[in-house]
Every structure is written in C-alpha cells, then in structure tokens.
C-alpha cells in the first residue's frame, strides 16, 4: 500500500489493463454487496464458490448501476460531460 502512495502509477501489460479496470470499477459494488452474498455461499459451498459468487454479484451490481446512470436524463445536460 505504501508503494502505491509513493509511486504515482504501476505499469501493467496491455491485456491486463482491461481486467484491472473492471475489478477497480466493481470494487465499491463488491464491497457493498459481499456481506449479503459471501456468508451463505461460504456455509453451503465453501470458500472458492463464495469468492466467485461475491465477485459475480459485485460485477452485476456495478453493471446495473452503470446502465441506470447512463439512462438518467439529467446526465445529458451535466457540465462534467463536456
């Protein structure tokens, strides 16, 4: 963590950038949704399934939120998009 504070950026190979971007984009959704998904999956299926299920739910929540925000009419007139 300290390294990320001192070094402004960390270079990554091209193909990894897209995957890392998706993970970074869904991190908040994953953080907010994992406590609902992880414990039941952990009890019933084990750790790998709980991790995969939490990641899938985080990705789904992020995708849904992105699509809802993209459809908002007030977004078209925002000064931030120009």
pLDDT of residue 76: 60
Nearby residues of 55 by Cβ (< 8 Å), 6 or more positions away: 26, 30
User: Is residue 32 one of the residues assigned to a domain?
Assistant: yes
CB 6 within 8 A of CB 31: no
Q: What's the domain range around 25? A: 15-81
43 part of a folded domain: yes
- Look at the chain and report how many structural domains it folds into: 1
Which tens digits make up the pLDDT trace of 19-65? 888 788 888 888 888 889 999 999 999 999 999 999 899 889 988 98
Rg of the chain's alpha carbons, rounded to an integer? Answer: 17
pLDDT of residue 24: 82
């Amino acid at each position: 963590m300290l390294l990320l504070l001192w070094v402004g950026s960390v270079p990554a190979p091209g193909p990894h950038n897209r995957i890392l971007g998706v993970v970074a984009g869904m991190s908040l959704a994953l953080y907010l949704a994992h406590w609902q998904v992880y414990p039941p999956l952990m009890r019933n299926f084990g750790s790998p399934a709980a991790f995969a299920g939490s990641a899938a739910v985080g990705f789904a929540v992020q995708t849904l939120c992105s699509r809802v925000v993209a459809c908002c009419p007030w977004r078209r007139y925002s000064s931030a998009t120009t």
